[in-house]
Amino acid sequence: MFQDKVISGIIKKAIALSLIIIGILAIFLKEPKPYILGMIFGSSINILSFILMGKTTKKAVLMKPSKAYSYTLGNYFIRYAIYFVVLFVAAKANYINFLTTVLGFFIIKIVILSSAIYESIKEAIKQKESR
């Protein structure tokens, strides 16, 4: 239950961050469509990959170690094959911006790192106030 809440919280923050970036792109760029499509393409694939990773982890924990290893390794290669196809399409298609697609791939990582930094700063301020 707790794990599902954490995962859904990360996904909600990733969607919110993606929408903020899309809004900024729409406001500041003259022809934003390829950039916005790249951001949507990259971030949606990244979020789906994150969900797949969570499901893989849940299932692998219940397996024998030897089976879990091959199962997680197989899913790892599937996720990276998907990333390869998405990057290949973004590089070849002139209606999708490659750089914003790559940025979309980092949305989950950005959310997790920024949340960790935020919590560390919040904890440091709390400790400083309690002195």
- In tens, the pLDDT along 77-87 reads 999 999 999 99
Contacts 24+ apart (CB under 8 A), 84-93: 86/41, 86/42, 86/45, 89/41, 90/38, 90/41, 90/42
Is the pLDDT score of 1 beyond 70?
no
The residue count for the chain: 131
Res. 17 pLDDT band, cuts 50 70 90: very high
Closest CA to 106 of 21, 34, 27, 4: 21
For the packed helices 2-28 and 107-130, what is the interaxial angle rounded to 10 degrees? 110
The per-residue pLDDT of the chain, averaged, comes to 93
- What is the structure's pLDDT at 120? 93
Q: Which two tokens stand for residue 57?
A: 């982890």
Res. 9 pLDDT band, cuts 50 70 90: very high
82-112 in b/e form (b: 16+ CB < 10 A) is ebeebbeebeeeeebbbebbbbbbebbebbe
Q: Which two tokens stand for residue 120?
A: 């560390």
